[in-house]
Amino acid sequence: MTALLKRYDNDTSHIDSGDTAWILVSAALVFIMSPGVGYFYSGMARSKNAVSLVFLCMVAMAVVSVQWMIWGYSLALSDTATNPFIGNLKYGLLLNVGDKPHANAPSIPGDVYAVFQCMFAALTPALALGGAAERIRIFPAILFCFVWTTIVYDPIAYWSWAPKGWMNVMGSLDYAGGTPVHIASGFGALAFALVLGKRQGFGHEKFEPHNYLNIILGTSLLWFGWFGFNGGSAVASNGRAGLASAVTHIAACMGGLSWSLVAYFRNGYKFSSFHFCSGAIAGLVAITPASGFVAPWAALVFGAVAGIVCHFAVDFKEKLGFDDALDVFAVHGVGGVVGNLLTGIFASKGVAALNGSEIKGGWIDHHWKQLGYQLAASCSGAAWAFVVSVIILVIFNYIPGLHLRIHEDGEISGTDVAEMGEHGYKFATIEPNVYGRDNASLNNLEQGNARPTTLTSDGQAGSGKSSVTGAGSREKNITLDI
């Protein structure tokens, strides 16, 4: 046992305490993005599915963290593997890691780099699950996250970031996860939407976000965490990390504004917090692969293009008729491709040189081949994520007990109750000692056995007292907690 736990390389002479501290902070920032995705998704969904969506994002983080420790880190980021497709198991169980710096992060301990990259891996399947929102069972989803991360995320991460990964060797530029995180999750969500099928009532009922405050809260947490997501990808505390943070913020602002303005003129001259938040996320997605390669002025272009293109991608999705419930494909899949391609145009070798890195740049540096490299990486990542996700989902549906779609009654009642036995909201409580002889009827109403036929409020929704006339009862007072 002593031999298994020993440090295999105690040379820590190049480790910088400032760099180490910044990456530890960045890992904590990226962690915040998991509940951020949960709140963003829960606000977009109907209230009966709100708790389960937040829970799924958190449990995905837990499952993938275990997978990452067992073999994910070694498969995705091994710097000792020699093949171009997948890593070896030298770092399995995080053995042989310790203080030894990784080739990608020479100034921080290897275990710090492993924890930082774990947060990226944990976020990605949580994003993909949005394509199956409101109709997925939790237990199979947990197993799916483990398998999907191993077979989809880990290989794409290896291609993109490992020293011998074929995309990296080819010359593709991906600073913080345009292909492994966003394209993979976006096209994984598309596979979810197509394999699981449409929600009941899709095309006939109007599905709208139930809580705009949750959407704003989720966006704020994601935006906050993205400073660690992109800024930390410098794996050092230096000027390039600062510039990556700056362009991240600029692209988010421009994405939110561009999406909002397009929607303003298309939708009756009214602004929407939902549109602004969606645009901000699109801008953040697009700048991710470029954040350590582009100047601040280019971030304006990334945000504007992503906001507009992803806005119309949502419309295109609706015309095609597939039920990507939370627009994961339109924002992350399409936004990731947009960001990858724009990186091929605006990547600057001068920006990369801020920490001594050498690249040939993109079109602005007259390196015309770079766009081709970015297109090849985008298509390969998208194809692998979509095809393999479909295969995994189909196999799961043939294994007893692992079918992913919730049963019809569970979908009607909502995944919160059907899968967890919990409620996100207490919609109505009946005041005691005011009902007289009709108390039993209102007890049925409270338990959902009778439906109110009229509901009149004394003011704005959720403001206080309301009167309800239920089946077989005279008018009673209830308190609305919405």
Give residue-wise pLDDT tens across range 39-74.
999 999 999 999 999 999 999 999 999 999 999 999
What pLDDT sits at residue 11?
Answer: 56
What pLDDT sits at residue 445?
Answer: 42
- Which tokens in the block code for residue 279? 């645009």
Angstrom distances, CA of residue 280 to CA of 205, 274, 352, 419: 28, 10, 25, 32
pLDDT at residue 3 greater than cutoff 80: no
The dihedral through the CA atoms of 29, 33, 39, 40 has a sign that is positive
pLDDT at residue 462 greater than cutoff 50: no
State the pLDDT confidence band at 355, using cuts at 50, 70 and 90. confident
What pLDDT sits at residue 304?
Answer: 98
What pLDDT sits at residue 325?
Answer: 87
pLDDT at residue 474 greater than cutoff 80: no
Query: Which of residues 333 and 9 earns the better pLDDT score?
Result: 333
* C-alpha 127 chain-centroid distance: 3
What pLDDT sits at residue 192?
Answer: 95
Question: What's the chain's Rg over C-alpha atoms?
Answer: 24
What pLDDT sits at residue 464?
Answer: 38
Q: Per-residue pLDDT tens for 408-437? A: 999 899 999 999 988 888 754 444 444 444
Q: Which helix (H) or strand (E) holds 392?
A: helix 370-398
d(CA 353, CA 208) in angstroms, rounded, equals 46
What pLDDT sits at residue 267?
Answer: 87
pLDDT at residue 448 greater than cutoff 80: no
Sheet holding 428-430, edge to edge: 428-430, 476-480, 465-469, 454-457
Angstrom distances, CA of residue 36 to CA of 12, 120, 214, 360: 35, 14, 9, 36
State the pLDDT confidence band at 375, using cuts at 50, 70 and 90. very high
Name the residue type at position 200.
Answer: Q
- Domains of the chain, by residue range, sit at 2-398, 426-480
What pLDDT sits at residue 171?
Answer: 95
Query: Which of residues 393 and 430 earns the better pLDDT score?
Result: 393
State the pLDDT confidence band at 12, using cuts at 50, 70 and 90. low
What pLDDT sits at residue 205?
Answer: 82
d(CA 26, CA 119) in angstroms, rounded, equals 10
Average pLDDT score, the chain: 87
Q: Which CATH architecture has domain 2-398?
A: Orthogonal Bundle (1.10)
Percent of the chain with pLDDT over 90: 76
Is residue 89 exposed (0-12), middle (13-18) or buried (19+ Cβ within 10 Å)?
A: middle
Mean pLDDT computed over 344-357? 92
